[in-house]
Amino acid sequence: MRRVLYALIPGIGAQFWWFGWGVLFSIGIASVVALAAEAAVLAIRDKSLKLYLGDCSALVTAWLLAAALPALAPWWLTAVGVAFAIIVAKHLYGGLGYNPFNPAMVGYVVLLISFPLEMSTWPALQHGLGFLDTAQLVFTGQLPAGVTLDAVTGATPLDAVKTQLSLGKSMAEITSGSLFGLLGGRGWEWVSLAYLAGGLWLVYTRVAAWRIPAAMLSSIVLLAGIFYALDPQAQPSPWFHLFSVSSIYGAFFIATDPVSASTTPRGRLLYGAGIGVLTYIIRSLGGYPDGVAFAVLLMNITAPTIDYYTQPRVFGARRG
């Protein structure tokens, strides 16, 4: 669990550089709420606080959820999502090791469905708000005099592309503006690369299984490549889908959850590929600009069945 926290640091650092102090406020709020909720439930269940708080699983859930939220999210939004993830998605199912769904993504989806406006208010890149101004916005909802919310917020690249395509614009017109960079949106590529570095370190240290992120990212690139080749003016490129932050972040840090993911070698390939396919379908046809959280939760349901039918043959036993 501590290695997962270490691996998140490069990506969180990149988010801090591009989106300001808000991400650190979210991490801090999420950590405090997660530990408090974990301690309260453990006390009710008469479990050892030292043992279960020391495994850092609550902090991992908190950081994973906080990093996925808009960096200027109000404090109560972060608190509600983390509390729901710890209390409902984790402990009501029996605690760590018994939860069938990824707790961080359960909290994220609850917030996305319940508070769509707050979840779509993403900060503009390097918006210029300082520490005190960001704290004022996060904790009171107020901006400095003369500053409007439109001046410091904007759409994510995926959301912007989806909106502009629905208005009849072509990809050439959309990408001609200053919002988008070479790959996944100006600034967003660097956040993706930072999470990629942390994710590859997790794979190298065998904390994360390589099959799941490899299958997930490959399926996204394959589907995006096919549709981009058929109609490049109406479909984002596969690289745009790949470097949209949520793809790489979800592949290495969310989909590889050892409790709710598939565990057999072939099963992990199927599980990861399924997440990639569902993510692309939701992005392209669904009402939400991104679909990683929904795709992960849907594939969490299938993980036990996938493992059942992909169990490796015991050495010396016959197939049958």
Q: What's the domain count of the chain?
A: 2
61 in a structural domain: yes
Instruction: Indicate if 43 and 140 belong to the same structural domain.
Output: yes
Q: Hey, which residues does 123 pair with through a beta bridge?
A: 153
Contact in structure between 238 and 228 (CB atoms under 8 Å): yes
Contact in structure between 81 and 33 (CB atoms under 8 Å): no
Instruction: Indicate if 78 and 219 belong to the same structural domain.
Output: no
For the entire predicted model, the pTM comes to 0.90
φ and ψ at residue 122, rounded to 5 degrees: -90, 145
Instruction: Indicate if 148 and 167 belong to the same structural domain.
Output: no
198 in a structural domain: no
Instruction: Indicate if 142 and 51 belong to the same structural domain.
Output: yes
Instruction: Indicate if 301 and 207 belong to the same structural domain.
Output: yes
Angle of CA points 251, 164, 226, to nearest 5°: 50
Instruction: Indicate if 109 and 233 belong to the same structural domain.
Output: no
98: nearest Cα among 272, 306, 304? 304
Is the torsion defined by CA of 218, 222, 223, 227 positive or negative? Answer: positive
247 in a structural domain: yes
Structural domain boundaries enclosing 243: 156-185+203-310
Contact in structure between 39 and 53 (CB atoms under 8 Å): yes
Contact in structure between 99 and 261 (CB atoms under 8 Å): no
Could you tell me where the DSSP H helices lie in the chain? 2-19, 22-44, 49-53, 57-68, 75-84, 103-114, 116-119, 131-140, 149-152, 157-166, 171-174, 188-204, 211-230, 238-242, 246-249, 265-285, 292-309
Angle of CA points 250, 157, 248, to nearest 5°: 20
Return per-residue pLDDT of the chain as tens, 320 residues: 999 999 999 999 999 998 889 999 999 999 999 999 999 999 999 888 888 888 899 999 999 999 999 989 999 999 999 999 999 999 999 988 899 999 999 999 999 999 998 898 877 776 778 899 999 999 998 887 777 776 677 667 777 777 777 777 767 666 655 445 545 556 788 899 999 999 999 999 999 999 999 999 999 999 999 999 998 888 888 888 888 778 999 999 999 999 999 999 999 999 999 999 999 999 888 878 788 999 999 999 999 999 999 988 766 666 55
